[in-house]
Amino acid sequence: MRKVLLFLAGIVVGIFVLGGIAYLYLNTKMVTITMDESTDILPIESSDFETEIKEVTAEDFLQIRKKINKPTMINFWASWCKPCVEEIPYLKRYAQKNNMDLIFISSDKNNEKQKDLMSKQMNRLRMPVSYIIKESSSTVDVQNYMALKKFVKNIGADETKVHGFGFCVMLDENGEIVNEFLGFDISTAFDNYFDDQIKK
């Protein structure tokens, strides 16, 4: 009788764990835009637009930081993150308008399927280059959130400020971190919001 009760308890716990994972997965703002969809901020895919995805470790990025010579925005995005994808055109315009460099680092899982999705998004968004965090989290961490937090910590930023995707790190002309914040995807407020964050 005791074995049966333990078996049933195990099944109940398993159902709750799987249900919790499914709930978290379905209740995040995740999207994969197919090639047939279009919005007013995403350009149509072009077969002549080349994209490049470069794997990066925190140690690699620390070397990249040493070469920075003007204000730079680092944007952590993911191909499935709707707010991330929607804010990219605004980030590009903002960086261009303010003579800043813009570096994209994806927190997608580092595998061929995710890289293919990334490449499609990059093509539509006219992003020629994006880094991808080389190390992925466990299978249970479907959003690769723990890998993102670890990477952010290892580059010297405050991982406790990572409350979601579309996370930005601002560097000055010497490559020093001056601010960290979540992005903002409403166009009418975008410039003012970023101006406020950058000036802090």
Q: What is the pLDDT of residue 190?
A: 54
Which among 30-34, 66-70, 176-180, 191-195 has the top mean pLDDT? 66-70
Q: What is the pLDDT of residue 49?
A: 73
Residue 38 falls inside a structural domain: yes
Residue 1 falls inside a structural domain: no
Residue 134 falls inside a structural domain: yes
Residue 22 falls inside a structural domain: no
Residue 103 falls inside a structural domain: yes
- 81-112 confidence digits (pLDDT tens): 888 888 888 888 888 988 999 999 998 888 89
CA distance 142 to 139: 6
Domain that holds residue 129: 31-199
- 181-200 confidence digits (pLDDT tens): 876 644 445 566 566 656 65
CATH code for position 70: 3.40.30.10
- Looking at every residue in the chain, the average pLDDT score rounds to 75
* Range scoring the smallest mean pLDDT among 17-21, 36-40, 69-73, 79-83: 36-40
Residue 18 falls inside a structural domain: no
- 70-82 confidence digits (pLDDT tens): 999 999 899 988 8
Residue 12 falls inside a structural domain: no
Average confidence (pLDDT) over 128-136: 88
Residue 16 falls inside a structural domain: no
Q: What domain count does the chain have?
A: 1
Which of 152, 142, 154 is CA-nearest to residue 181? Answer: 152
